[in-house]
Amino acid sequence: MKDRQLGRVRFISGDNKGRYPFCHSVYIAGEKERIVIDPACSLDKLKLLQQNEGVDAVWLSHWHEDHFAFLYLFSDYPVRISPRDYPPLTDINILLDWYGVMREDQRAFWRKMMLNQFRYSPVNNARFFKDGEIIDCGSVTVEVLDTPGHTPGHLSLFFREEKILFLGDYDLTSFGPWYGDVHSDIDETIKSIRHLQKIPAKIWITSHEKGLFEENPGEFWQRYENIIYERDGKVLEFLKQPRTLEEIIAAWLIYGKPREPLFFYEFGERALVTKHLQWLEKQNRIIFDNNHYCLIQ
């Protein structure tokens, strides 16, 4: 996958095709300000970018570690993020709380991973985006789009002159949307997916895998949203007889089978299944009774 210069906007492809723990990054070469968005593409590429072309500020689409992995390279630069997504960047314990990691043995493992692999350090110099804000970077005008669901303060960005839409983690991958954090929301995810489809873009950038769409993603949008309903269907099918939460998680309805590293995928399975159970309860399609989830007939 190649990097691409698209006017004043550069798509910087991430290592391993932008898959976790990496993402694709974006660089804005504005006349007023040079900005790197989500600095987690590649340590070598970001070092070269800093040395050769320069960076004045860092923007984050949201708070997840696979988007701030190399933020430490830019520790002296201002960081901008939605105020709704700022708390996890201020304290590692808040970050773990927002992921729903509560058992102390698990917290110890995740804390070590965040500190050692992602070099987590509290961000004390953040500035905040306003929803719908229009930012003039000098020959590049950026519209800030509020797209919650994945996280409460997830932001997408529309580069007006180039008609480029940065979708962030609404990444149109075959796996589908992630909404497994404590403060994630399935309904908001659906609203954001539908909102982004209406933006009059000509080029679409996502944070993971394919990354760059130079033609309208078309059916990718519907496939991506439909994965939510397909997950619902799998849960409902499994609940034709009453099941405990642990039985549902052990069925691997989301990932299909156990994967390595097991701790990571078990966490993801539990997080997404729990969100679907909550969503189905909200719709009065299932009920929790006597420690079992049951269909409402």
Q: What is the pLDDT of residues 138-177, one digit of tens each?
A: 999 999 999 999 999 999 999 999 999 999 999 999 999 9
pLDDT recorded at residue 223: 98
pLDDT recorded at residue 125: 85
DSSP assignment of 165-225: EEEET----SS-----STT--HHHHHHHHHHHHTS--SEEEESSTT-EESS--THHHHHHH
Mean pLDDT within 238-258? 97
To the nearest whole percent, how much of the chain has pLDDT over 70? 100
What is the rounded distance in angstroms from the CA atom of residue 216 to the CA atom of residue 112? Answer: 41
pLDDT recorded at residue 108: 95
Q: What CATH code is assigned to 4-217?
A: 3.60.15.10
pLDDT recorded at residue 1: 83
The CATH fold of domain 222-295: Arc Repressor Mutant, subunit A (1.10.10)
CA dihedral (33, 84, 20, 75) positive or negative: positive
pLDDT recorded at residue 279: 98
Given a cut of 80, is residue 184 above it in pLDDT? yes
Given a cut of 90, is residue 110 above it in pLDDT? yes
- Burial bucket for residue 267 (CB in 10 Å: 0-12, 13-18, 19+): middle
Given a cut of 90, is residue 280 above it in pLDDT? yes
pTM for this entry? 0.96
- Lowest average pLDDT, out of 36-40, 51-55, 198-202, 258-262, goes to 258-262
Do you find a cis peptide bond into 21, omega within 30 degrees of 0?
yes
What is the SS3 assignment for 113?
helix
What is the SS3 assignment for 76?
coil
**The pair of three-digit structure tokens given for residue 295, joined into one six-digit string:** 């269909």
Same fold, 4-217 and 222-295: no
pLDDT recorded at residue 39: 98
In angstroms, what CA-CA distances link 8 with 35, 49, 67, 161, 284?
11, 15, 21, 9, 49
Mean pLDDT within 182-198? 98
pLDDT recorded at residue 278: 98
pLDDT recorded at residue 297: 77
Task: Identify which has the larger pLDDT, 186 or 1.
Answer: 186
Write out pLDDT tens, residues 28-44.
999 999 999 999 999 99
Instruction: Report how far apart the first and last C-alpha atoms of the chain are (Å, whole number).
Output: 50
What is the rounded distance in angstroms from the CA atom of residue 15 to the CA atom of residue 69? Answer: 12
Mean pLDDT within 181-210? 98
**Looking up tokens 């992921």, which residue turns up?**
99
What is the rounded distance in angstroms from the CA atom of residue 145 to the CA atom of residue 91? Answer: 26
When pLDDT is cut at 50, 70 and 90, the band that residue 226 belongs to is very high
What are the two backbone dihedrals, phi and then psi, of residue 168, each rounded to the nearest 5 degrees?
A: 65, -130
pLDDT recorded at residue 263: 86
- What's the mean per-residue pLDDT of the chain? 97
pLDDT recorded at residue 212: 98
Mean pLDDT within 17-30? 97
What are the extents of the domains in the chain?
Answer: 4-217, 222-295
